[in-house]
């Protein structure tokens, strides 16, 4: 379940309203979420689409310490490298086949081609991806032991920040010239 921090910080939250949501006023629909019956478009540079089912989309999850995403991948599509600071992730493939991989803190890369009906687990905080290595569309449901796992995309969190991380910091960190940093920024500033 969720440990103490469930958000990056705690200014205020729109989720939940525990004071006013007394039992008798709850409806069956408060525990239902249907948005994942259809996948998100994969018509983008990554060939992937994620339909989130965290507490912001599915308010009934509040305080329950779990959530679910749907991941759709076109052939060759990638759900690009990212981490979830507050959750492990269980990837259950429902259609097609995808290479699912993560990197542990000692730099070991663990990966597996996972097919329909099979599952793979990504420990909390590890950098990971899904890559459709099959010939047809692939789909997975991803389940989290947090109501709001958080997502940190590797590329965006370095090259599409507001304001920008200084050129010198990125150039030194990646041991490349500033031109390379500017090229990468130009790719990610507009999103996919
Ligand atoms: C997949 O990695 C997801 O975060 O849903
Ligand atoms: Mn993930």
Flag whether 41 is in a domain: yes
Q: How far is the CA of 23 from the centre of ligand 2 (A)?
A: 33
pLDDT of residue 191: 59
CATH number at residue 111: 2.60.120.10
Flag whether 2 is in a domain: no
Q: What proportion of the chain, given as a percentage, has pLDDT over 90?
A: 79
Claim to verify: residue 191 and residue 121 sit in the same structural domain: no
For residues 84 and 10, give the distance between their C-alpha atoms in angstroms, rounded to a whole number: 18
Claim to verify: residue 187 and residue 93 sit in the same structural domain: no
Claim to verify: residue 181 and residue 92 sit in the same structural domain: no
Residues near 131 by beta carbon (within 8 Å), at least 6 away in sequence? 73, 77, 78, 79, 98, 99, 100, 101
Ordered strands of the 152-153 beta sheet: 109-115, 97-103, 127-132, 78-83, 152-153
Looking at per-residue confidence, does 192 or 144 come out higher?
144
Full residue range of the structural domain in which residue 168 is found? 155-192
Claim to verify: residue 49 and residue 135 sit in the same structural domain: yes
ipTM above 0.90, yes or no: yes
Strand 109-115 versus strand 67-73 pairing type: unpaired
Is residue 122 within 6 Å of ligand 1 at its C-beta? no
Structural element, H or E, at residue 83: strand 78-83
Nearest ligand 1 atom to alpha carbon 142? 5
Write the DSSP string, 92-139.
Answer: EEEESEEEEEEE-TTS-EEEEEEETT-EEEE-TT-EEEEEE-SSS-EE
Claim to verify: residue 164 and residue 144 sit in the same structural domain: no
Flag whether 53 is in a domain: yes
Asked if 108 and 142 count as a contact pair (C-beta separation under 8 A), the reply is no
Q: Which SS3 state, helix, strand or coil, does residue 28 take?
A: helix
Claim to verify: residue 53 and residue 83 sit in the same structural domain: yes
Claim to verify: residue 119 and residue 142 sit in the same structural domain: yes
Claim to verify: residue 122 and residue 55 sit in the same structural domain: yes
In the block, tokens 């569309």 appear at: 137
Q: How far is the CA of 184 from the centre of ligand 1 (A)?
A: 23
Which 3-state string (H, E, C) describes 48-78?
EEEEEECCCCCHHHCCCCCEEEEEEECCCCE
Q: Which two tokens stand for residue 189?
A: 């500033």
Is residue 48 within 6 Å of ligand 1 at its C-beta? no
Is residue 36 within 6 Å of ligand 1 at its C-beta? no
Q: How many independent structural domains does the chain possess?
A: 2
Claim to verify: residue 84 and residue 40 sit in the same structural domain: yes
Claim to verify: residue 138 and residue 182 sit in the same structural domain: no
pLDDT in tens, 107-165: 999 999 999 999 999 999 999 999 999 999 999 999 999 999 999 999 999 999 999 99
């Amino acid at each position: 379940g969720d440990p103490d921090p469930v958000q990056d910080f705690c200014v205020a939250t729109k989720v939940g309203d525990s004071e006013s949501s007394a039992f008798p006023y709850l409806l069956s629909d408060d525990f239902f979420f249907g948005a994942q019956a259809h996948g998100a478009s994969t018509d983008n540079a990554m060939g992937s689409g994620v339909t989130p089912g965290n507490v912001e989309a599915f308010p009934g999850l509040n305080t329950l310490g779990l959530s679910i995403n749907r991941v759709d991948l076109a052939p060759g599509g990638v759900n690009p490298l990212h981490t979830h600071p507050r959750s492990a992730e269980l990837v259950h493939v429902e259609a097609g086949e995808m290479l699912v991989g993560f990197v542990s803190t000692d730099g070991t890369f663990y990966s597996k081609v996972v097919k329909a009906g099979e599952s793979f687990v990504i420990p909390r905080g590890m950098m990971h991806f899904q890559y459709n290595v099959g010939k047809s569309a692939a789909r997975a449901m991803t389940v989290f032991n947090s109501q709001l796992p958080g997502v940190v995309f590797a590329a965006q969190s370095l090259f599409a920040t507001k304001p920008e991380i200084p050129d010198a910091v990125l150039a030194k960190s990646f041991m490349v010239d500033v031109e390379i940093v500017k090229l990468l920024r130009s790719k990610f500033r507009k999103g996919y």
